[in-house]
Amino acid sequence: MADRIDELRKQVDLKTAKKLELEKVDRIMKRLEEFSPECETCANDKRRLAQQLDDLLEKNGNLEKNDIEKLKKVKGDMISHLQKVHKMVPEGQNVGLFMAIGISIGTSLGLVVFENMAIGISLGLAMGVAVGSGKDAEAKKKGLTI
Ligand SMILES: [Zn+2]
């Protein structure tokens, strides 16, 4: 399976590889393999993803926007299943989440406490990143990161 991803990486240019998020596809695939024996959805998804990669490989590097979108959609479905059913956390999700929370708290605190929104926002942002990174590191340690 990893061979397919490697092969695809060789076929496309760096920019396309980045758009395809091949690293993420690789991680999703590993998780699907892990859960396949006990989860029918994962077993089906694994076949679906493999088929998708085969389709992309057949194009021999001539990928269109449509192809990238299709993979993105499939990937999104699989991530949401892994999150809901297997309690997985997409990498970096907590940083994004807590950054948003930090900014919104910081904005109101900044106005009320410091009478300066910019200070509030930067404080909120810094706290959000700190808390979010901590949560991400925790998830990673527990092996829950996709
Ligand atoms: Zn599953």
pLDDT in tens, 118-135: 999 999 999 999 999 999
Residue 108 placed within a domain: yes
Q: Residue 136 corresponds to which tokens in the numbers above?
A: 């991400």
Does 135 lie in the same domain as 68? Answer: no
Query: 92 pLDDT exceeds 80?
Result: yes
CA 115 to centroid of ligand 1, rounded, Å: 49
- Number of domains the chain is built from: 2
CA 89 to centroid of ligand 1, rounded, Å: 14
Q: How confident is the model at residue 7 (pLDDT cuts 50, 70, 90)?
A: very high
CA 6 to centroid of ligand 1, rounded, Å: 24
CA 48 to centroid of ligand 1, rounded, Å: 13
Q: Looking at 63, 86, 109, which one is the last position of a domain?
A: 86
CA 58 to centroid of ligand 1, rounded, Å: 28
Does 76 lie in the same domain as 16? Answer: yes
Global model pTM greater than 0.95? no
CA 74 to centroid of ligand 1, rounded, Å: 14
Does 105 lie in the same domain as 46? Answer: no
Residue 109 placed within a domain: yes
- Rounded Cα gap, residues 127 and 146, in angstroms: 24
CA 145 to centroid of ligand 1, rounded, Å: 15
CA 30 to centroid of ligand 1, rounded, Å: 12
The half-sphere exposure of 77 on its side-chain side, counting CA atoms within 13 A, is 12
Residue 103 placed within a domain: yes
Residue 114: predicted pLDDT? 84
pLDDT digits (tens, 9 = 90+) for 26-83: 999 999 999 999 999 999 999 999 999 999 999 998 999 999 999 999 999 999 999 9
Residue 24 placed within a domain: yes
